[in-house]
Structure 1
Amino acid sequence: MIDGLLFDKDGTLFDFRLSWGGWAAGFLTSVARDEAHATRMAQAIGYDLAARDFAPDSPVIAGTAAQIAVSLLPELPGYTLDDLTDLINDTAGTAPMAEAVPLRPLLTGLRERGMRLGVATNDSEAPARRHLQAHGITGLFDYIVGYDSGHGAKPGPGMCLGFLHAFGLPPGRTAMVGDSLHDLHAGRAAGMRTIAVLTGVAAAATLAPHADVVLPDIGAIPGWLAQLPG
């Protein structure tokens, strides 16, 4: 009953806290004048420097690099918005990502079922591709887009609609897989089924009203597929 799966990247393919907690601490330290300045910038993006954790409304979770830059810009008057966005993208592209589950065997198994697989992230496309390449999984995806790829950002449906149109996939036989409300709202707006996972920051109670199913991680997808009729 499912012909295609479109994955969010951060918090879905990769565990969010493990992947981005360290990046945020390193980035803020590198641009801060002192510890107090780093703390103010951390507060601006909903990040706890001591705990290396994010508030549920942090723009780092589901926002774009430009949105993160907008939050930080008042604390960094020496930067333009474009310069700060570029710096975020450059450093994000080298951030080490922690796989939520072993990705290559999971994705290979899904492809062997004849499924189309894609990635739709509010990250920029270039660093997203670097993350996938670092884990040797770029070639397992038929479609990879970021917020700057021409389809708009989530929660808008553009990236999801692009996936459907690229391969002629029926929305009802395609699922958007993500860890945030942005992901689920984008999928629903495109008429797709929605799968929520708990490898991000959002709780199951927050995601459940907007998802067809809530799974602990994407490793549970094959089991869920096996229970579908047909």
Structure 2
Amino acid sequence: MPVTKLDGLLFDKDGTLFDFHATWSVWASELIVTLSEGDPAVAQALSRGLDFDLETGQFRPGSPAIASPNRYVAECVAGALGRSDVDAVEDLLDYHAQQAPLAPAVPLAPLLEGLKVQGLVLGVMTNDSEATAHAHLRAAGVDGFFDFVAGFDSGFGAKPDPGPLLAFARAHGLAPGRVAMVGDSTHDLVAGRAAGMQTLAVLTGAAGAGELAPFADHVLAHIGDIPGWLSA
């Protein structure tokens, strides 16, 4: 599909701005060790709840941690631990997530600065919490490049619902058709299509090109290819 002139880019966070496995698979391995406290049975229960392969050290493609809101992930972890205090588990996961070993997909600051120079409005919409999103963007030194940051708990809903994407467009007076939703999961792309936005898939998450292509107008290796895509 030809590129319509864009006024804005809305990025997913995990698997898009940050390489998914290099960040979150490493984080999950450490989390399972911490929460299991050396008990192999608990570690196995957590790996099943998170759909995480302990042998490869990676999330499986169907893992709820890939695109689901934190609350659902917390429910999975609470169930694996036999705990009923899901609120406390969610707070615990949020705390650990803010300490995640971030691995940017590409050098972020020069890329984002170049996009801002072109006059593009930039946003982040993640199914992570808004607080964790800001913490990660600050840790990467790029929080100031974004005009909009929302999480599943920001009051707009969570992907694949288009509500948070449309909130970004409304907040900056952008026509949805002149915004591209950039993401690594079908949740991102389905939300983008439902919002009437262009959809741009990247391959720095858990999904492959074959899974993403039916929902994407374009598939790129990573967000570093966006400037070339825009100028093509």
TM-score range, shorter chain: over 0.9
Please, which moves more after superposition, 127-136 or 21-30? 21-30
SS of the residue corresponding to residue 118 of structure 1 reads strand
Structure 2 residue 5 is matched with structure 1 residue 19: no
Residue aligning to 2:36? 32
AA at the equivalent of 2:72: Q
Residue aligning to 1:199? 204
Residue aligning to 1:48? 53
Structure 2 residue 76 is matched with structure 1 residue 74: no
Structure 1, residues 182-218: CA drift from partner, whole Å, max 9, x if none? 0001111110000000000101011001001000000
Write the distance in 2 (CA, Å) between the matches of 1:162 and 1:78: 35
Match of 1:5 among 9, 16, 27: 9
Write the distance in 2 (CA, Å) between the matches of 1:183 and 1:9: 10
Question: How large is the Cα RMSD of the aligned pairs?
Answer: 0.9
Please, which moves more after superposition, 139-148 or 50-59? 50-59
**Count of aligned residue pairs for this structure pair:** 227
Measure how far apart 1:82 and its partner are: 0.4
AA at the equivalent of 1:27: L
AA at the equivalent of 1:81: V
AA at the equivalent of 2:53: D
Q: When the two structures are superposed, what TM-score results if normalisation uses the length of structure 2?
A: 0.96
SS of the residue corresponding to residue 214 of structure 1 reads strand
- Find runs of 4+ consecutive structure 1 residues off by over 2 angstroms: none
Measure how far apart 1:223 and its partner are: 0.6
CA contact (8 A) 2:74 2:90 kept: yes
Change (3 A) 1:211 1:78: closer
Structure 1, residues 60-79: CA drift from partner, whole Å, max 9, x if none? 11011111111122222345
Match of 2:168 among 163, 167, 173: 163
Structure 1, residues 57-111: CA drift from partner, whole Å, max 9, x if none? 1011101111111112222234501010110001001111100000000000000
Question: What are the equivalent positions in structure 2 for 1:87-166 lying under 5 Å apart?
Answer: 87-166=92-171
AA at the equivalent of 1:222: P
Q: When the two structures are superposed, what TM-score results if normalisation uses the length of structure 1?
A: 0.96
Please, which moves more after superposition, 118-127 or 28-37? 28-37
SS of the residue corresponding to residue 99 of structure 1 reads coil
Write the distance in 2 (CA, Å) between the matches of 1:119 and 1:50: 33
> Runs of 5+ in structure 1 lacking a partner?
none
Write the distance in 1 (CA, Å) between the matches of 2:40 and 2:83: 18
SS of the residue corresponding to residue 124 of structure 2 reads strand
SS of the residue corresponding to residue 62 of structure 1 reads coil
Write the distance in 2 (CA, Å) between the matches of 1:178 and 1:19: 16
AA at the equivalent of 2:102: M
Measure how far apart 1:36 and its partner are: 2.2
Aligned-residue sequence identity (percent) comes to: 53
SS of the residue corresponding to residue 161 of structure 2 reads coil
